[in-house]
Amino acid sequence: MLDVPPPSGPAVPPAVPPGWLNVLVPPGHGLAFEVPAPALGDGAAVAVRTWAPPGVPDHQPLPLLVVHDGPEYDARAGLTRYLAAGVAGAWLPPLRAALLSPGQRDTWYSAHAAYARTLAQLVLPAVTARLASTVQLGMGASLGGLAMLHTHARHPGTFGALFLQSGSFFTLRYDRMEEDFRYFRRIVRFVAGVQDQRLPKCPVPVVATCGRGEENLPNNRLLVQALRKHHYPAVLHEIAGGHDWTSWRDGFDPHLSALLRLLAA
In the prediction, which pLDDT does 4 show?
38
In the prediction, which pLDDT does 61 show?
97
In the prediction, which pLDDT does 27 show?
86
* Cross-strand partners of 138: 66, 162
DSSP assignment string, the chain: ---PPPPP-PPPPPPPPPGGGG------B--EEEEE-GGGSTT-EEEEEEEB-TT--TTS-EEEEEEETHHHHHHHH-HHHHHHHHHHTTSS-S-EEEEE--SSHHHHTTT-HHHHHHIIIIIHHHHHHHS-EEEEEEEEETHHHHHHHHHHHHSTTS-SEEEEES-----TTT-GGGTTSTTHHHHHHHHHHHHTT-S-S----EEEEEETT-TTHHHHHHHHHHHHHTT--EEEEEESS-SSHHHHHHTIIIIIHHHHHHHH-
Q: What is the per-residue burial (b if ≥16 Cβ within 10 Å, else e) of 177-189?
A: ebeebebbebbbe
Q: 225 — alpha (psi -120 to 50), left (phi > 0) or beta?
A: alpha
In the prediction, which pLDDT does 265 show?
81
In the prediction, which pLDDT does 14 show?
55
**What is the CATH architecture of 25-264?**
3-Layer(aba) Sandwich (3.40)
Parts of the chain with a pLDDT under 50: 1-12
In the prediction, which pLDDT does 6 show?
42
Task: Check if the beta carbon of residue 146 is closer than 8 Å to that of residue 116.
Answer: no
CA angle 122, 125, 130 (to 5 degrees): 130
Q: Could you give the C-alpha distances from 251 to 7, 37, 133, 207, 240, in angstroms and in order? A: 30, 32, 25, 11, 9
